[in-house]
Structure 1
Amino acid sequence: MTGRRFILAVDQSTSATKALLFDDEAKPVHRVTIEHKQYYPGPGLVEHDSAEILAKTREAIARVVTEATTSDDRVEALAITNQRETVLAWDIETGEPVGRAMVWQDERGTPLCDELRAAGHDPDVHDRTGLLLDTYFSASKVAWLLKNNPDAARRLAAGTLAVGTVDAWLIWNLTGRQVFATDFTNACRTLLFNVHTLKWDPALLKLFGVTGVRLPEVRSSDASFGSAQIPEIGGSIPIVGVCGDSHAALFGQGAFDAGECKATFGTGSSVMLNIGRKPLTPPPGVVLSIGWGADGAVEYVFEGNIHSTGDTVRWVRDNLGLFSDYDEAEKRAAALDDTGGVYVIPAFNGLGAPHWAHGIRASIVGLSRASGADHIVRAALESIAYQIDDLIGRMKENKSVTMRNLRVDGGPTRNRFLMQFLSDIIRSPVHVASIEEISAKGVALFAGLSTGLYRDRAHLRDLAVFAESFEPEIETKKRDKLVGGWAAALKTVLSSASGHE
């Protein structure tokens, strides 16, 4: 009997660690999910236990292999995708973590970012990194650690303080402390990496006061990262393929070429547009990132993050009590012709890309005596499409790249009303992913290409399967009227914001 060949993908996310086996048709055949604890030691502080993340990753790997493979099967490679911007510190000689991991949501770096912005450093940082000077990214968190943790400062002075993103921590430990490396996609989200020179930037290290920390070697997303020692399965697995989660999702969606775009829906939404092999200047409110490094080349993306999409609909359910489950919300929204002029502006934590308005509150605009609960439900769903359209519209201001279509993934994509409305508003086809774990699939594709399990990108296109596709249906005049109403409602709310930038 001939054994099966698999790629094992680890998806280490904000809330849990998943391990999945993908077969030679890039289909998931088994998955294991293990949650980890969230720590909130103070206002604006969000942490994870570095040792727990490593232990849960080892457990997930061992379980998925022992539960779903036989001695005849072969796991060709282990690929890793992970939450981005979250940063960890440890002693490179002893392996001891220095404090907990500081999660991407953590805001302790805000004072430093405000100080640097006030001093006029934002344009230079943006030119070097493609990013905004914001605590969302890793650099200010590392600076805070060095200033506030005496143990970190002591190890820095001794030259043993290692700093890295989640992937680097996992690789270093899984390889028996033999490989200290990360990939382009994770490095480029730290505010310490120059997306033009493709190196750690000495000027940025000095600016943030983190010169002297030990940083990982940066490799391509499809590179080899050593061999993972897994005693629980009695052997080792080559680590091939490492990629940040949003970037892996873009690749997993088959968006290999310039002009192909994806949106991941969750609490908020990440929108990425492949712009090709040149680092084009991003329009205001949009950032430039490295999409991935593969086949000896680097490809770039425009990216924007929206704060509240799925969270908006959850708020209408949980706080307003206007529906009990998401299927009901879809049916009630679809039963109406429109919202009756009602618009929900979901600025529960301000507005993200492309507006970056921090000093405003969420609002419901356009209520009348004729408005009912169903109008608010529909308006909440529609707000997701309008925000995506605002962001894509801003990306389109750079005429060097033309968006071809939008590929979507995440829980809200199961709402057919929303997907059709999204297609109508952005005036583009919308293709819904067939599996939920699209980031894991994306990094598995990198590994499969490198190991020969998958032939080439043309082969991957043949393997790509969409659950459903939607085409624009409404007339342009009607679409423009709806978008105009949203823009007017948004302007009303923004005009009241002292913090709008």
Structure 2
Amino acid sequence: MPQVILAIDQGTTGTTVFVVDGRGRIRGRAYAEIRQFYPKPGWVEHDPEEIYRSVVTLSKKAISAAKVSASAIAGIGITNQRETFVVWERRSGRPVYRAIVWQCRRSADICDALRDREPDVAQHTGLLIDPYFSGTKLKWLLDNKPGLRERGARGELCFGNIDTWLLYKLSRGAEFVTDYTNASRTMMFNLARREWDDEMVAMLDVPREMLPRAVSSRGPLAETAPGTIAPHAIPVAAVIGDQQSALYGQGAVVAGDSKATYGTGAFLLMNTGDKMVPSKNRLLTTAALGPAGEPAYALEGSVFIAGAAVQWLRDGLKLVRNAADTYAEARASVAKNKDRSQPYVVPAFVGLGAPYWDANARGAIMGITRGTTRADIVRATLDSIAYQVRDVIVAMESDTAHPMSELRADGGATANRYLMQFQADILGKPVRRAKIAETTAMGAAMLAGLAVRIWKSPDEMLALVKGADVFKPKMQTADRERLLAGWHDAVSHTLTRPSN
């Protein structure tokens, strides 16, 4: 029986599992949403046990859908939402608190108190001081829940991003590890040395005993315990943070290659090879992968709200029944108002990410008139995703002095042809949409397949991702500049501190 890879993509709003064969075809899939908890404004949590159960249940469903035996699985690749973390008891494996999600802003005050340390943080970790990263929220948890810091120092508790939590649970406690890409998102990891940083760990007052062992993304890293996903053990052959996995899945594995993933947020990465490029424009320097999965570096810009804004239209405002409806609404708005000048939506629901990094910014709709319709609000929300992506690309090009010739795009929102065309128009550059939208999962599948030699070389594997749709810019320069001026004016009204 031909061997296959099980690719697990544990994301912010749901878990997806694919079975991928040696030709890069998705043979079976399963998906389920996971619950979001919002105990206070700006706070976001998940149930860690629900996340684990979803991985096990959906893995079995995907294997069944693929009509293959579990014995055909050569290895597992895991990719995950990166900065979301769990703290659990080492002996029992029980969480001591809900998972605190990357979107959560509860540590904003801690970040403000540490602001003068930002140059040190950037030098050591490549990151900025922001609640986005798990380190300051871990400090919040240890500060606010009596006894946890002391238990952590005694070695009774484990900390980990979702990759570590899943590896621990799937191996039934045999492995307590994280990969470099996930470790690089904690604000406690020395990016140059690829090890936990004593100074950063001390700054956040985190017991070292709580931290997992950091290893390369290409494994094997662990084995699933018999009776979890299958009756027998299966090697976990690769673990990668979701955005680095999408970069790898797009074949962006050498310096200068870049991509944007349109998911709950929008995340742009440019591979910088073996060079750590410091940013002058408040971007992040982070871990990435080379062609064979070897450690490399990237510049990253994070847009916190992208697809989540479409969810807001659907679930919060009830303006559309499903995400696909936004395409027709946006086209109706443009047909009525061809210059697209009003209104502007700034979806700063949990602050603004790169290049603004304002945790206290809040969303706004600017320029409403009596003639504003539902279609206009929907169209402006889609436009806001493209505007935010452009802001990051401009900063990235400035940092690297390397203009992008095109933008590679992946993720669920790329199915919206209006958004992809507007992205090309507002960039003034072609947008190349991935042949396989699920590039995040494919990146983990590809690296796992390389590790267990389903694919013998990076070239053989990268041939799987060739072919894509290309959206070419059609907008006049004057129109682009007018729209951008309106966007930046709208953003300026939401900021609580000056933008750099």
* TM-score, length-scaled by structure 2: 0.89
| Structure 1 residue 159: Cα displacement | 2.5
User: Which residue does 2:280 correspond to in 1?
Assistant: 283
- Give matches, 1:319-338, under 5 Å: 325-333=325-333, 335=335, 338=338
Q: Secondary structure at the match of 2:142?
A: helix
| Structure 1 residue 181: Cα displacement | 1.0
Query: Compared with structure 1, are the counterparts of its residues 202 and 496 closer, same or farther at alpha carbon in structure 2 (3 Å cutoff)?
Result: closer
| Structure 1 residue 375: Cα displacement | 5.5
Counterpart Cα distance in 1 of 2:370 and 2:165: 57
Are residues 1:268 and 2:265 paired?
yes
Percent identity between the aligned chains?
36
In the alignment, structure 2 segments of 5+ residues that lack a partner are none
Q: Secondary structure at the match of 2:470?
A: strand
User: Which residue does 1:152 correspond to in 2?
Assistant: 148
Corresponding letter in the other structure for 1:196: A
Counterpart Cα distance in 1 of 2:95 and 2:254: 40
Query: Compared with structure 1, are the counterparts of its residues 262 and 268 closer, same or farther at alpha carbon in structure 2 (3 Å cutoff)?
Result: same
Query: Compared with structure 1, are the counterparts of its residues 157 and 69 closer, same or farther at alpha carbon in structure 2 (3 Å cutoff)?
Result: same
Counterpart Cα distance in 2 of 1:92 and 1:162: 6
Corresponding letter in the other structure for 1:381: L
Query: Compared with structure 1, are the counterparts of its residues 82 and 400 closer, same or farther at alpha carbon in structure 2 (3 Å cutoff)?
Result: same
What's the CA shift string for 1:430-471, capped at 9, x where partnerless?
Answer: 111233322111101101111111232322332114452122
User: Which residue does 1:441 correspond to in 2?
Assistant: 442
Within the candidate set 216, 223, 227, 2:219 is matched to 223
User: Which residue does 1:30 correspond to in 2?
Assistant: 28
Are residues 1:236 and 2:233 paired?
yes
- Give matches, 1:64-213, under 5 Å: 64-71=62-69, 74-117=72-115, 120-213=116-209
Are residues 1:397 and 2:395 paired?
no
Corresponding letter in the other structure for 2:365: S
Query: Compared with structure 1, are the counterparts of its residues 261 and 334 closer, same or farther at alpha carbon in structure 2 (3 Å cutoff)?
Result: farther
8 Å contact 1:386–1:483 — kept in the other structure? no
Counterpart Cα distance in 2 of 1:131 and 1:427: 29
Within the candidate set 362, 365, 370, 2:364 is matched to 362
Corresponding letter in the other structure for 1:51: E
Q: Secondary structure at the match of 1:262?
A: strand
What's the CA shift string for 1:41-79, capped at 9, x where partnerless?
Answer: 344333223333223322222333344344596211011
Are residues 1:248 and 2:245 paired?
yes
What is the aligned length? Answer: 493
| Structure 1 residue 480: Cα displacement | 4.5
Q: Secondary structure at the match of 2:209?
A: coil
**Which segment drifts farther, 177-186 or 399-408?**
399-408
Query: Compared with structure 1, are the counterparts of its residues 6 and 314 closer, same or farther at alpha carbon in structure 2 (3 Å cutoff)?
Result: closer
What's the CA shift string for 1:285-319, capped at 9, x where partnerless?
Answer: 31111123774742211111223334545656777
Counterpart Cα distance in 1 of 2:301 and 2:207: 29
Are residues 1:450 and 2:451 paired?
yes
Query: Compared with structure 1, are the counterparts of its residues 52 and 449 closer, same or farther at alpha carbon in structure 2 (3 Å cutoff)?
Result: same
Corresponding letter in the other structure for 2:178: T
8 Å contact 2:218–2:294 — kept in the other structure? no
Counterpart Cα distance in 1 of 2:313 and 2:57: 37
| Structure 1 residue 280: Cα displacement | 0.4
Query: Compared with structure 1, are the counterparts of its residues 364 and 321 closer, same or farther at alpha carbon in structure 2 (3 Å cutoff)?
Result: farther
Corresponding letter in the other structure for 1:77: G
User: Which residue does 2:469 correspond to in 1?
Assistant: 468
Counterpart Cα distance in 2 of 1:321 and 1:111: 33
- Give matches, 1:404-443, under 5 Å: 404-443=405-444
Q: Secondary structure at the match of 1:231?
A: coil
What's the CA shift string for 1:192-221, capped at 9, x where partnerless?
Answer: 001111110000010000133331111111
8 Å contact 1:143–1:209 — kept in the other structure? yes
Query: Compared with structure 1, are the counterparts of its residues 125 and 340 closer, same or farther at alpha carbon in structure 2 (3 Å cutoff)?
Result: closer
**Which segment drifts farther, 157-166 or 482-491?**
482-491
| Structure 1 residue 355: Cα displacement | 2.4
Corresponding letter in the other structure for 1:121: R
Query: Compared with structure 1, are the counterparts of its residues 311 and 62 closer, same or farther at alpha carbon in structure 2 (3 Å cutoff)?
Result: closer
| Structure 1 residue 417: Cα displacement | 2.9
Q: Secondary structure at the match of 1:335?
A: helix
User: Which residue does 1:21 correspond to in 2?
Assistant: 19
Corresponding letter in the other structure for 2:249: G
Query: Compared with structure 1, are the counterparts of its residues 151 and 111 closer, same or farther at alpha carbon in structure 2 (3 Å cutoff)?
Result: same
Counterpart Cα distance in 2 of 1:369 and 1:15: 35
Within the candidate set 56, 61, 64, 1:63 is matched to 61
User: Which residue does 1:298 correspond to in 2?
Assistant: 295
| Structure 1 residue 368: Cα displacement | 7.3
| Structure 1 residue 372: Cα displacement | 6.7
Q: Secondary structure at the match of 2:275?
A: coil
8 Å contact 1:282–1:398 — kept in the other structure? yes
In the alignment, structure 1 segments of 5+ residues that lack a partner are none
Counterpart Cα distance in 2 of 1:307 and 1:271: 11
Query: Compared with structure 1, are the counterparts of its residues 381 and 279 closer, same or farther at alpha carbon in structure 2 (3 Å cutoff)?
Result: same
Query: Compared with structure 1, are the counterparts of its residues 201 and 451 closer, same or farther at alpha carbon in structure 2 (3 Å cutoff)?
Result: same
| Structure 1 residue 333: Cα displacement | 4.6
Counterpart Cα distance in 1 of 2:57 and 2:319: 41
Counterpart Cα distance in 1 of 2:326 and 2:448: 36
What's the CA shift string for 1:165-184, capped at 9, x where partnerless?
Answer: 11112112222322211111
Query: Compared with structure 1, are the counterparts of its residues 302 and 171 closer, same or farther at alpha carbon in structure 2 (3 Å cutoff)?
Result: same
8 Å contact 1:345–1:490 — kept in the other structure? no
Q: Which one has the largest radius of gyration?
A: 1
Query: Compared with structure 1, are the counterparts of its residues 140 and 293 closer, same or farther at alpha carbon in structure 2 (3 Å cutoff)?
Result: farther
Q: Secondary structure at the match of 1:396?
A: helix
Query: Compared with structure 1, are the counterparts of its residues 147 and 497 closer, same or farther at alpha carbon in structure 2 (3 Å cutoff)?
Result: closer
Counterpart Cα distance in 1 of 2:252 and 2:456: 17
